[in-house]
Amino acid sequence: YRAAQQAGQDPVLAVMSATGFSRRKSLKLIAGARDEGHLTPRHHRR
């Protein structure tokens, strides 16, 4: 997720390809990681 973010790519797509999850499931996974303080809480440009 972070690597894609830094590369300026869509981090959600990166999570999707890494996990094989659907977009919604990946977003939920990311939201969960955010709540635990692993990721920055702000939204990024798409």
Asked whether residue 41 carries a pLDDT value surpassing 70, the answer given is no
Neighbour tally for 5: CB within 10 Å: 14
What confidence score (pLDDT) does residue 37 get?
76
Q: Using CA atoms, how far apart are residues 22 and 36, in angstroms rounded to an integer?
A: 21
* Residue ranges of domains in the chain: 2-35
Q: By percentage, how much of the chain surpasses pLDDT 90?
A: 0
> What is the average pLDDT across 9-36?
84
Nearest CA among 20, 33, 18 for reference residue 9? 18
Residue 44 predicted with pLDDT over 80: no
pTM of the model: 0.51
